[in-house]
Amino acid sequence: MATPAENTPEKSSVRWIVLATVIFGTFLGRLDQTVVNLALPKIIGDFNITVTDAAWISTAYILANAVFVPVWGKLGDTAGRKRIYLIGFVGFTIASGLCALAWNLPSMLIFRIIQGFAVSADYPTAMAIIAITFTDAKERAQALGIWSGAFAVAAVFGPLIGGPLIDNFSWRSVFFINIPLGIIGLMLALTFINESVGAKRSAKFDWWGSATLGAALATLVLVLDQGQTWGWMSAASLICYAGTLIFGIWFYIVERRQAEPIVNLDFFKIPTFVFTMLNNFIVFMALMGAIFLVPIFAETFLGYSATQTGYLFIPLAVMMMFAAPMGGRLIGRVKPSYVIFVSTFFSGVGIFMLSYIDPRSGPLDIIIPLCVMAFSLGFGMAQRTNLIAIAVPQNEIGEASAVLALVRNIAGAFGLAVFSTLLINSEGANVLATARNSVLNVVNSQNIQTFIGLIELKAQVASYATVFEVAALVVILGSFTALFITVPRHVLTHEHHVVSEG
């Protein structure tokens, strides 16, 4: 039998194949979320449902994904990361086929919940697999940064891949395509990923903790996703607020009594962990809340098609993938807090540059700010992800990465809720402000209609600028949280030893 020195991934080029394998899985899972949003108009027509009904197709997926990420993270650390990764991959592939065969809205919702449940196994197990495969601190940081960049690439390629599939075949093709791709990913995982578990094994799974956390997350994500439609102070929203608070407190009480809780609350006693999470929350809240407006602006005011809009984001993906390993190479050379501060600050600058776009803007007016933002964000991505991996005991990396995924998901949902509300509210205020400062000298019905249209157009464009300005301010101010991240030198240089079982 081969010795560990002869057979471990860190001693051979296999570790980079492992990275490519988990990137493929992460890319596929995130790509599906983006592509399905493009298919919603066709699904609405086939199922004869309303836009509000169709929104639940995305909501069901998001809810299931958010609720079960912590569960999979804990199971990966205790039952085996490869085992859980494979279960999630198989489940995602099967659920994709079921979604493609859905015959009405209820069946689609059930299958999307299954799909979201399965794909939520990817993030915590993939991050843990990378962390234990790359034991060298610098290589691990680069690998985690490159892997994190797959999220941006998936968001960009969604319209480019999904648009032609939907136009030339049908909406069902965006689900069917996951079957052959899923089989490829499954074969890669079976071949190259080694099994690993944490040093501790839980004798009894924390079902009460999982249930209460799931209920708290479900009500929180639900109100963030649907609050704008319901009304933030509607009865449904108030019930969700109460549910989040009650189940959140219940979860805390339960977890304090568990020997091995679903989420180790002691993580939040680690300053490195807390401030890195806070920085992640601020960044993802503002980025998701502001950047989702760029495609809408391009298609509404610039007349771009969905495919043309997708082209605008290709440089963003390239910049992020290029910057991530560059930032990773600074591990051990520059304090992580400085790298993350610069990364976050200039991401905010990139978002602020978007506030200058208007209906006369050309492609470069959007591409350049996106590239500034993407390069800056990517530059600190490896550092952020690596800090989470080294701040906690190695046998709990899966749990920690699940918390990171959860924070990013909630931050994104929170950002979408806050900034979509800001857009709508500022539009109304801008209409009144613009009208008060506008004068029509020639009065006839045609000129009046044109006058009103121009006021509305200016108000709408100004509203987008307001959102970009506020998001930029949030990110720039949030960049200072990075300066509170302190990492002992021995932690940065410490080489983790992996306990593996085949």
Q: Which amino acid is at 381?
A: M
Percent of the chain with pLDDT over 70: 84
- Cα–Cα distance measured from residue 139 to residue 496, given in angstroms and rounded to the nearest whole number: 13
- Cα–Cα distance measured from residue 376 to residue 353, given in angstroms and rounded to the nearest whole number: 13
- Structure tokens, 415: 């950002």
CATH among 3.40.50.300, 1.20.1250.20, 1.20.120.1200, 3.40.50.450 for 4-206+258-493:
1.20.1250.20
The residue ranges of every structural domain in the chain are 4-206+258-493
Least confident of 20-29, 290-299, 367-376, 448-457: 448-457
Q: Is 426 in contact with 467 (CB distance < 8 Å)?
A: yes
- Cα–Cα distance measured from residue 198 to residue 75, given in angstroms and rounded to the nearest whole number: 10
- Angle, in degrees to the nearest 10, between helices 14-47 and 51-79: 150
Task: Count the Cβ atoms, other than its own, within 10 Å of residue 106.
Answer: 10
DSSP 331: T
- Cα–Cα distance measured from residue 142 to residue 155, given in angstroms and rounded to the nearest whole number: 21
C-alpha distances (whole Å) from 9 to each of 130, 134, 157, 331, 361 are 10, 8, 30, 21, 49
Range ranked top by mean pLDDT from 107-121, 137-151, 384-398? 107-121
- pLDDT greater than 60 at residue 7: no
- pLDDT greater than 90 at residue 99: yes
The Cα angle at residue 405 between residues 400 and 410, in degrees rounded to 5: 125
Averaged pLDDT for residues 217-225: 83
300 CB-near residues (< 8 Å, 6+ apart): none
Averaged pLDDT for residues 352-374: 90
Q: Is 52 in contact with 223 (CB distance < 8 Å)?
A: no
Which phi-psi region, left, alpha or beta, contains residue 80 (left: φ > 0; alpha: ψ -120 to 50)?
left
Residue 457: the pLDDT is 65
Alpha helices in 292-444 (DSSP H): 293-301, 306-312, 314-328, 336-353, 363-391, 397-436
Read off the pLDDT band of 31 (50, 70, 90): confident
- Cα–Cα distance measured from residue 287 to residue 301, given in angstroms and rounded to the nearest whole number: 21
- Cα–Cα distance measured from residue 85 to residue 93, given in angstroms and rounded to the nearest whole number: 12
Task: Count the Cβ atoms, other than its own, within 10 Å of residue 31.
Answer: 24
Q: Which amino acid is at 15?
A: R
pTM score, whole prediction: 0.76
The end-to-end CA distance of the chain, in Å, is 13
Residue 334: the pLDDT is 83
Averaged pLDDT for residues 80-97: 90
- pLDDT greater than 50 at residue 501: no
Dump pLDDT digits (tens) for 310-328: 778 788 878 887 887 787 7
- Cα–Cα distance measured from residue 348 to residue 154, given in angstroms and rounded to the nearest whole number: 22
Report the mean per-residue pLDDT for the chain: 79
